[in-house]
Amino acid sequence: MSALREKILHVATDLFHSRGINSTGVDTIVAVAGTTKMTLYKYFRSKEDLILEVLQKGHEDFQAWLNENLNRSSKHPAEKIQKLLDFIEEWVTSPDFRGMAFIKASAEFPNEESPVHKLSAEHAKEFRTYIASLASEAGISDSDGLALQLSLLIEGSMQAEQMKRGSGAIKYAKKAAKILIDTAPRKH
């Protein structure tokens, strides 16, 4: 990937997170990136394409980080599902945390036919599927149900933390998640 394309992507990511997607115009992105609209459109056909790429890269980076940490922390599936919220807490309480991109983007693009909304919904589904696979590997019989419950706790605590840093919501989400995980029916 060219250095300039990477810079545009990085600048757009920062601006979308700090100012909002709809509040950030192409003029602002190119000014901060120190480039021109022509160059931006050389790499991205439209602002929408740039938004989609920012969302996709953020999702992939987050999933890779989470998967790497879970795999490094434990080889046992039951421990991985328990440690999931520990790593979410680490991420949510880090100074770099700026919210879950798919939640923010879907709020800014509420029309379900919007490509941005569709990609956001797909990312939410992929995140739940990831949690369900961890739950299934841990022997939980209703892995999809537990994944939905945990994703609601995670997404809610992320929203709370995004609105007020240091909210403590993730600590309570972790307590609730532990109860859900510990009492989830297991496969026989």
- pLDDT tens figures, 108-159: 999 999 999 999 999 999 999 999 999 999 999 999 999 999 999 999 999 9
- pLDDT tens figures, 33-53: 999 999 999 999 999 999 999
CA dist 68 → 61, 64, 74, 99 (Å): 11, 6, 10, 20
pLDDT for 22 beyond 70: yes
* 94 neighbors 156 (Cβ within 8 angstroms): no
114 vs 105: CA distance, rounded Å: 11
CA dist 51 → 41, 57, 146, 179 (Å): 13, 10, 31, 37
- The token pair at 11 is 């600048």
Q: 146: Cβ–Cβ under 8 A, 6 or more apart, which residues? A: 131, 132, 135, 140, 180, 181, 184
Mean per-residue pLDDT over the chain, rounded: 94
pLDDT at residue 99, rounded to an integer: 83
pLDDT at residue 57, rounded to an integer: 95
Q: What domains appear along the chain, each with residue ranges and CATH number? A: 1-44 (1.10.10.60), 47-183 (1.10.357.10)
Average pLDDT, integer, range 100-108: 91
Q: Under DSSP, is residue 23 helix (H, G, I), strand (E, B) or coil?
A: coil
68 vs 101: CA distance, rounded Å: 20
In this prediction the pTM is 0.90
| pLDDT category of residue 75 using cuts at 50, 70 and 90 | confident
